[in-house]
Amino acid sequence: MKKILVIHGPNLNLLGLRPKEHYGTMTLAEINRQMQIHAAPSWELEFFQSNSEGEIVTKIQQSLSADAIIINPAAYTHTSVAIRDALEIFPKTKIEVHLSNVDQREDFRRINYIRDVCDVCFSGKLAESYLDAIEYLKKN
């Protein structure tokens, strides 16, 4: 069975309380459950959420044998060279995901340290962005 690591960055643990116009109404547990349903039976998902940049870097380093990473780095998308450098080391498919369309919001969200080390990005479709990532892995 193929293993996918799903990383959720800071504040995504509070989905449901965050601005609904950007992030929708689903909780992180509900999103994870939808992903699990889409991935079954051939893909095993491991979910990891952290509000800490260093913990995310360490998790990527510890998961180099996974078959793919789906990552929503949240605010670290726009600030973290460390997460970028860790992702660069990961040898297989890397998918960037966002609930909102980060390219059409504030200027500071257009700064993106992650995009060019990932294979593909799905954004702006709320929880569907994550499901698109699973579909991409099924086809590629």
Residues from 104 through 123 that contact ligand DQA (CB under 6 A): 109
Q: 75 or 82, CB closer to ligand DQA?
A: 75
Which of 71, 102, 114, 134 binds ligand DQA (CB under 6 A)? It is: 102
Active site includes 23?
yes
* Beta-bridge partner residues of 69: 5, 94
Which residue, chain included where needed, has tokens 């995504």? 12
* Beta-bridge partner residues of 13: none
Q: How far is the CB of 42 from ligand DQA (least distance, A)?
A: 26
Closest CA to 95 of 63, 75, 67: 67
Cα–Cα distance, 108 to 28 (Å, whole number): 24
87 binds ligand DQA (CB under 6 A): no
80 binds ligand DQA (CB under 6 A): no
* Residues designated catalytic: 23, 98
